[in-house]
A and B are shown apart, each in its own frame.
Chain A
Amino acid sequence: MNKRLLTFIGVIAAFLVVAFFKSSNDEQSQKGIPTVGILQLVTHPALDQIHNGAIAGLKDEGFVNGKNIKIDYQNAQADQSNLKTMAQKFINEHAKVTIGIATPAALSLAKAADGQTPVLMGGITDPVGAGLVKSINKPGGNVSGTSGDSPLQAHLDVIKEVVPKAKTLGIIYTSSDHGGTYHAKKMAKLAESQGFKVKLYTIASTNDMQQVAETMANQVDVVYAPQDNGVASAMKTLVNVTNQNKIPVIPAADTMVKDGGIATIAVSQYQIGYQTGKMAGEVLKGKKTATMPVVSVTKGEPVINLKEAQTLGIDLPDKLVQQAKENGEVIQ
C-alpha cells in the first residue's frame, strides 16, 4: 500500500483516538465577550432585512458588536452542505445564542445545538410544522424566536376592498419555496371558505413566470402573490403580463408593491428581525427559550401603489389610502 496514503490514514486515526479520550474535558471556559452566531441561508432582500433588524434589536437591548458581544455572521449562499459546518462552528465557539434566518438555517442550528445552545428563529414560516418548537406558546426546548406568518386574512380583506367584483382568485407561488407553498395553500383554503373560486399556479423557477402568468391572466379576476422568494424576484415580469389584462396583483410584501403590486398590508421583515434580535438580547440577559412564546409578527401597515392603480384604472378605497398615508407607505 502507498506510504503516503498510510501516513494520512494514520494521522487521521491518531487524531480521532486522541479526540475521543480528550472529548470529555473539551469544554473549556469561555474567555472574553460572548459570541452571537447569525446563520443565513442565502443573500436575498427579505432575509438581509431580517439580518439588519436583528442587529438593531440586539443594539436596543444594549448589545453592540465589538463592544460587549462578538457577532459571527455566516451566509451559506444556498449551498446547504455548508450550513452544518457553519452551525457547528458557532457551537464550537461556545456561542451564547444563535439566530437562524430561513428554515434550513434554523434547522441546522437546532440540530447542531442538540438541545443546549439557544436558537432563535428569524421569521420562520411554520415553526411547529418544521419540528422546531413543540408549540407556539410553550416552545419547551432551546428554540424560540419569531415566525414570519403572513396576515392572510388582512390580505384577503384588501383583495375584497380593492376588487369588490372579483370572483376567481389566482394564487401564484414557487413550488420549491417552503414559505410560498405553505402560504399559498393556506390562502386557498381561506379564500374558498369566503366564497372565492381559487386557482393555484406554480413556477419551478423565475424563468417560468412569463408563460405561467400569461396562462393565469386569462383565467382569473385578481392575483395573490404570497411571501415567496421566487415570485418576489420575478414580480416585474408578472405585473407586465397582468397589466395587459388589467388584472391587479395583491402581493404579501412591501417590496413587491414597489415592483408593481397594487396594495397590501405589509409586515416589515426588518421588524421581524428586530423582534428576533430583542429576544436574543433577552436570552443573553438570562431568559430561557423554553418559556419564551414564539412571537408572530403580524401587525402590518397598508402599502399602496398609486401609479399602478392609475395604470389599471382602479380607484383605491379612501380608508385604505388614508391609513397608508398616516402610518404606511404610498408609492407614487
Chain B
Amino acid sequence: MSIIVSSIGQGILWSILGIALFLTFRILDFPDMTVEGSFPLGAATAVTLIVHGVSPILASLVAFVAGSLAGFTTGILYTKGKIPVLLAGILVMTACLSINLRIMGSANISLLNQKTIFSNAFLQSLPRYFDMVVLGLIIIVVVTAALIWFLQTELGQAFIATGDNPQMAQAFGIRTDRMTIMGLMLSNGLIAFGGAVIAQSNGYADINMGIGIIVIALASIIIGEVIFGNLSLNERLIAVIIGSIIYRLVLLAVLQLGFSTNDLNLISSIILALAMMLPQFRKALRLDGILKKGVRPHD
C-alpha cells in the first residue's frame, strides 16, 4: 500500500515537468531539448544554495530563475540566431553540464541531514510518503491554477495563438519571437523548479540526473492524451498530472512483476511510440467510432 502512495507522490512531483513541457511541446508545438539541461541546473542551484545555508523555499525559487535563463538562451539562439530549435536546445543542454559542475563544484552533493522544503514539522507528522503527496499537491495546484489564469489573459492568448499559427498571429500584431522566448523561459523555469523539488525529495543532486528526463515528461503528456481523448485546454493540463501518476504506477508494476530493469528504457520508448502513433492506427483501422464511445465531444 505505502509503495503505491510513494509512486503517486512521485507522479505528482514529476508532473511539474509534464506541465512545463506541455507549454513548449503542445502549445508552441516543438520539442525543447533544453529540459535535460535545465532540470539538473535547477537541482544544482537549489542544493548548492541549501548547503550554503539559504532557505529551501528561496533556493527553489532561485532555481526557477536559473532555468528561465537557460530557456531564454535557447529562445535567443532560435529566434534571433536562426538556429533550428532542436539544435538550440541541445546546445544549451550540453552547455549546462559545465555550468552545473561550476555551480556544484563536484559531481554529487548530498542533502542528508540538511533542511529541505520537506522538513517542515506538519509534513513530517504525516504517515510515510504523504509528505510528497501533500506538498506535491500544493505545488501542482498552485502551478496549474497560475497557468490556467495566465493562459486566459491577453498575453496568454497571444502565446497560444503563436503556437497555433505564427503567420496569423503576426498579422494580428503579436510579436511571435517574444512569445516563443517567454514560453521557453516559463517552461524551463518550471522544469528547473521541478529539478529543485525532486532533488530535495531524493536527498541529493547529481550531475547526471537529467538523463532521460524528456521521455518522462513526454510520457505524462502522451498517456494523459491517450487515456482521456478530447479535452479542453484546462482539462488537458489536469490530464498531464494524472498521466504522470499513471506512468509511475506502470513503472512500479513493471518493477514489481520482476521485469529486468535493464529493459525499462526500451519498454518506456515502445509504449510512448505506440501511444503517439495511435491516431494513425485509428485512421488505418477506422476505429474512430468505436474508440470515442464513452468520451463526450469537446466541452
User: Across the interface, do B1 and A26 meet the contact criterion of CB distance under 8 Å?
Assistant: yes
The listed residue (B127, B201, B213, B296) touching A24 by CB distance below 8 A is: B127
The listed residue (B3, B111, B198) touching A92 by CB distance below 8 A is: B3
**Chain B residue contacts of A19, Cβ below 8 A:** 1-2, 4-5, 127
With known contacts A2-B228, A75-B261, A89-B256, A9–B98 Cβ distance under 8 A: no
A50: min CB distance to chain B, Å: 17
Q: Quick one: closest B residue to A11, CB to CB? A: B242
When chains A and B are docked, how far (Å) is the Cα of A130 from the Cα of B296? 53
Q: Cβ of A104 < 8 Å from any Cβ of B?
A: yes
B174: min CB distance to chain A, Å: 30
Among the listed stretches A170-178, A231-239, A243-251, A285-293, which one makes contact with chain B, having 4 or more residues with CB under 8 Å of it? A170-178
- Kindly identify, within residues 271 to 316 of chain A, every residue whose CB is under 8 Å from any CB belonging to chain B: none
Instruction: Encode A176-194 as 1/0 by CB contact (under 8 A) with B.
Output: 1110011000000000000
User: Across the interface, do A22 and B231 meet the contact criterion of CB distance under 8 Å?
Assistant: no
Q: Cβ of B83 < 8 Å from any Cβ of A?
A: no
**Chain B residue contacts of A74, Cβ below 8 A:** 255, 261
User: Across the interface, do A110 and B112 meet the contact criterion of CB distance under 8 Å?
Assistant: yes
User: Across the interface, do B212 and A79 meet the contact criterion of CB distance under 8 Å?
Assistant: yes
Q: Cβ of A31 < 8 Å from any Cβ of B?
A: no
Q: Cβ of B145 < 8 Å from any Cβ of A?
A: no
User: Across the interface, do A79 and B265 meet the contact criterion of CB distance under 8 Å?
Assistant: yes
When chains A and B are docked, how far (Å) is the Cα of A131 from the Cα of B101? 19
**Chain A residue contacts of B125, Cβ below 8 A:** none
**What are 27 A-B interface contacts by the 8 Å CB criterion?**
A2-B235, A3-B296, A4-B228, A5-B235, A16-B5, A16-B8, A20-B126, A43-B262, A77-B261, A80-B211, A81-B14, A81-B212, A82-B251, A83-B202, A84-B202, A88-B3, A89-B255, A92-B6, A104-B108, A104-B206, A107-B202, A107-B204, A111-B202, A131-B110, A176-B208, A178-B106, A204-B98
Q: Cβ of B160 < 8 Å from any Cβ of A?
A: no
User: Across the interface, do B242 and A12 meet the contact criterion of CB distance under 8 Å?
Assistant: yes
A231: min CB distance to chain B, Å: 14
Q: Cβ of B209 < 8 Å from any Cβ of A?
A: yes
User: Across the interface, do B108 and A5 meet the contact criterion of CB distance under 8 Å?
Assistant: no
Instruction: Encode A67-81 as 1/0 by CB contact (under 8 A) with B.
Output: 000000011111111
When chains A and B are docked, how far (Å) is the Cα of A81 from the Cα of B113? 21
**Chain A residue contacts of B229, Cβ below 8 A:** 4
Q: Cβ of A120 < 8 Å from any Cβ of B?
A: no
When chains A and B are docked, how far (Å) is the Cα of A114 from the Cα of B2? 14
With known contacts A5-B242, A16-B5, A107-B110, A86–B255 Cβ distance under 8 A: yes
- Kindly identify, within residues 1 to 40 of chain A, every residue whose CB is under 8 Å from any CB belonging to chain B: 1-5, 8-9, 12, 15-16, 19-20, 22-24, 26
When chains A and B are docked, how far (Å) is the Cα of A187 from the Cα of B101? 20
**Chain B residue contacts of A2, Cβ below 8 A:** 228, 231, 235, 295-296, 299
User: Across the interface, do A9 and B255 meet the contact criterion of CB distance under 8 Å?
Assistant: no
When chains A and B are docked, how far (Å) is the Cα of A9 from the Cα of B245? 10
A215: min CB distance to chain B, Å: 18
When chains A and B are docked, how far (Å) is the Cα of A88 from the Cα of B6? 8
**Chain B residue contacts of A22, Cβ below 8 A:** 1
When chains A and B are docked, how far (Å) is the Cα of A26 from the Cα of B98? 45
Pick from B133, B208, B299 the residue with the most CB of A within 10 Å.
B208
Instruction: Encode B61-83 as 1/0 by CB contact (under 8 A) with A.
Output: 00000000000000000000000
When chains A and B are docked, how far (Å) is the Cα of A114 from the Cα of B130? 14
When chains A and B are docked, how far (Å) is the Cα of A25 from the Cα of B2? 11
Q: Cβ of A241 < 8 Å from any Cβ of B?
A: no
Q: Quick one: closest A residue to B224, CB to CB? A: A5
Instruction: Encode B210-251 as 1/0 by CB contact (under 8 A) with A.
Output: 011100100000000001110100010011001001001001
User: Across the interface, do A12 and B262 meet the contact criterion of CB distance under 8 Å?
Assistant: no
B186: min CB distance to chain A, Å: 23
When chains A and B are docked, how far (Å) is the Cα of A2 from the Cα of B262? 37
When chains A and B are docked, how far (Å) is the Cα of A103 from the Cα of B201? 16
Q: Cβ of B97 < 8 Å from any Cβ of A?
A: yes
When chains A and B are docked, how far (Å) is the Cα of A219 from the Cα of B203? 41
When chains A and B are docked, how far (Å) is the Cα of A80 from the Cα of B43? 13
When chains A and B are docked, how far (Å) is the Cα of A191 from the Cα of B201? 39
User: Across the interface, do B239 and A5 meet the contact criterion of CB distance under 8 Å?
Assistant: yes
Q: Cβ of B87 < 8 Å from any Cβ of A?
A: no
Instruction: Encode A96-112 as 1/0 by CB contact (under 8 A) with B.
Output: 00000001100110110
Q: Closest 5 A-B residue pairs measured CB to CB?
A: A23-B127, A111-B203, A92-B3, A131-B110, A131-B112
